[in-house]
Amino acid sequence: MLARVGFGTIKRPPPTVPCTGDCGTHSKFALLRNTRQTALRKHSHPLARSNLFVSPPSPNRTNLPKEIMAFPEFPWKGPSQSFVTHAQVLDYLYDYQQHFDLQKYIHTGCTVQHLKVLTTTGDNADQPVSCLSPETEHWPRIRLDWTIAESDGTAASVSREFDAVCVCNGHYGVPAVPELDGLKEHYKGRLMHSIAYDDPAVFAGQKVLCIGGRASGSDLAREIAVHADAVYLSDSVAPPMDETGTPVTKYNVAWVPKTTAVLADGSVQFDLGCNMNPVVDVIVFCTGYDYSFPFIDEETSNISLDFATGSRRVQPVLEQFWHAVNPNICFAGLPHSVLPFPLFELQMTAAVRQWQDWTLPTDKASRMVMAAKDAASGGEGMVNGRMPQDTHFLGPAQWDYCRRMAEYAGTYDDEMENYIATNKVSCRCVAAVLLLLCCL
C-alpha cells in the first residue's frame, strides 16, 4: 500500500510526470514521492460540470459496496448504506483529494490535444532521453500539448515535455455498439446504450431487450423488469434452453442467447434456435465501451498504439499497463470488471517503483513478445470456461493481477495478501447475494 512504499535516495533529477484525465486523482498520490507532477483535468468537482455523467444526478447506485471500493488508506465516511450513488462516489474522490492535499497538483479546465514521443537518435533528435531510462535503454521524453479554458471563453495553448506520462482518461465514455443485421432497416423502436440509463420506471408497460449479459445487462434487466411487461436478457453464454428452444425464464425475464438479427417484420432473432422472436419497444445495448485516446494520432504522435473501435483491446501494452515500446508511458485503468480504485492504486504504485528501479524486461523485443501474448490470449485467459471477448476483462482473474502489481511495486507481503484475499471473498459474497436476488 502506498503508505509503505519507499524508494530510498534518488541520485538523478526528479522526473516530471503528468497524469491526464479525470481518473488521475489517485494516480497523483502514488506519484507524489520523488517526482514533480502535473495533473490535467477537464473539469473540477461541481457535479454540473463533471463529464462523468451524461444525465442529471439520479438515485442509481453502485453495484459494488463502498467498503471494498475504497482506497486502503482512506475508508469511506458518511453514508451508512453500502451501495452508494454516483454523486457520493464523486464526493468520496473529492474528499480524498482534499485529505491528501492533491488539489495544488491538479490543473482543471484543461483539454489534452496531442501527445508526441520525441526523437532521441539520428539527425532529427530533438530532446535528451527521459531521466527514468534504465542503463540499457534510452527512453524518449514525451511532449504534451493542451488548452486551458479561460474565464472569458477563450482557450490558452500550453506545451510541455515530460519524463513520463500517465494516461488516466478512463474508458467509460465512448459507448460500444455492435453491428446487428437488420437493425437499421427493420427496427422501429427506441435504441439506447446503458450509459444513458437513468430511471427504470420509464419502461413501464414495454417490452425491453437488454443486449449484453455482464454486470450492466443483468443489473438493468433486473431493475427494468419491475416496471416492464417483458424483459429479454440477451447473453452469449446464456443457460442452455430446453429441447423445444425455450430459454430459461423467471417471472417476466427471459434469459436468451446472443441476438443475431432484426427480421423484416421488426421481430428479434436469437441464436441457437431460440423459439422466441419478440417485437420489442426498446433495445438497450449493455455492451460496454470502446477505448479512446483522441490526443494520440497514428501519424504524428510517434507511438505505436492500436485501439481500433470495436476491438476492445489496447496494444502493445505490458501487463495491461506499460507501453511495450515506451514504458515511460502507462495507461491506468485499462482492466475492467474489477474493483477499480484499489486496482488503479496498485498499478500506479507499481509504475512509481518500476520507474525508479526497472525490473521488467529491459529489451524492447522481450516486452513486445509479452505484450503480444497478453493481447492474443484474451488478457487473463479463460474465465468461467470461456475466452473473454476483450483483452482487458479480468473478473475473477483480477486478484492474481493485483498480486503481480504489488510485487512490481515492492509492497507484496502478508498484509497486502490479506487485503487482496479479503476483497476477493467480499466480491464472492456480493455476487452470491445478487444471484440469490435474481432467483427470488
CATH number at residue 205: 3.50.50.60
User: Is residue 6 in some structural domain?
Assistant: no
Confidence category of residue 435, pLDDT binned at 50, 70, 90: low
User: How many CA within 13 A on the CB side of residue 110?
Assistant: 23
Clarify whether residues 121 and 231 are in a common domain: no
Please indicate, yes or no, whether residues 159 and 198 belong to a single structural domain of this protein.
no
Q: What is the pLDDT at residue 35?
A: 53
Our count of domains for the chain comes to: 2
And the C-alpha cell for 34?
Answer: 520523488
The residue-averaged pLDDT of 53-70 equals 69
Domain hosting 324: range is: 12-173+290-432
Q: Is residue 2 part of a domain?
A: no
Residue 266: Cβ-neighbour burial (10 angstroms; 0-12, 13-18, 19+): middle
Q: Has residue 437 been placed in a domain?
A: no
Residues 343 and 427 in one domain: yes
pLDDT, average across residues 368-395: 73
Give the three cell numbers for residue 20. Answer: 491526464
Residue 4 domain-assigned (yes or no): no
CB 233 within 8 A of CB 211: no
Amino acid type, 339: L
Percent pLDDT > 90 in the chain is: 61
CA distance 60 to 56: 11
Q: Which of 288, 322, 341 is the last residue of a domain?
A: 288
One domain, residues 263 and 369: no
Q: Which of 288, 308, 339 is the last residue of a domain?
A: 288
* Sheet with 165-167, edge to edge strand ranges: 106-107, 36-40, 16-20, 165-167, 329-331, 322-323, 317-318
In a domain, 3, yes or no: no
pTM of the predicted model as reported, rounded to 2 decimal places:
0.84
| Boundary (domain end) residue, out of 233, 265, 288 | 288
For 242, other C-beta atoms within 10 Å of its C-beta total: 9
Instruction: Summarize pLDDT for 172-191 with one digit per residue, the tens.
Output: 889 999 999 999 999 999 99
